[in-house]
Amino acid sequence: MAAIDITIEDKQLSSLFDKLISKTSDLSPCMRNIAMIMKETVLENFDSGGRPQRWILSKRVREEGGQTLILKGMSGGLMGSITSKSDKTTAIVGTNKDYAELHQFGGRMSNSAGEKSAKVPARPFLVIPDEEMQEIRDTILDYLKI
């Protein structure tokens, strides 16, 4: 069976394809917005003490008040280390803190002698709840509007 090629010469359609190609070849503006949404979401997870599920309170928080994973008077800490970045195809949120994985997934904390000591429950802070996932979807759809 022979192939048949059909060429449609329509200026409006051609213009729409050009705009689509232009918008999708560099998604930097969209990815920048998504990275911002993700960072704000993670910071809200800290402010809320865990979302969608609340984190198990630490002994210090139960005794002294305050918020889990947020130390009073600290300028940095885990919450303060949350950063976001983006490029033309990627949006990333994360932290450079060594202990972040322990809090995200839980595990056993080592003492100064390197011995395993206290059990740390998982307190997933790098979570994007459904509501914010919808906001990300809407951001993509808005970006693709021509």
Write the pLDDT tens digit of every residue in 131-142.
999 999 999 999
What pLDDT was estimated at residue 59? 74
Tell me the pLDDT band of 32, cut-offs 50, 70 and 90: very high
pTM of the model: 0.81
What pLDDT was estimated at residue 115? 72
Tokens of 70: 């947020």
Average pLDDT, stretch 67-73? 66
Tell me the pLDDT band of 111, cut-offs 50, 70 and 90: confident
Tell me the pLDDT band of 93, cut-offs 50, 70 and 90: very high
12 φ, ψ to 5°? -65, -45
pLDDT at 46 over 60: yes
Tell me the pLDDT of the chain averaged across its residues. 87
What pLDDT was estimated at residue 74? 52
Q: What percent of the chain has pLDDT over 90?
A: 50
Average pLDDT, stretch 65-70? 72
Average pLDDT, stretch 114-128? 87
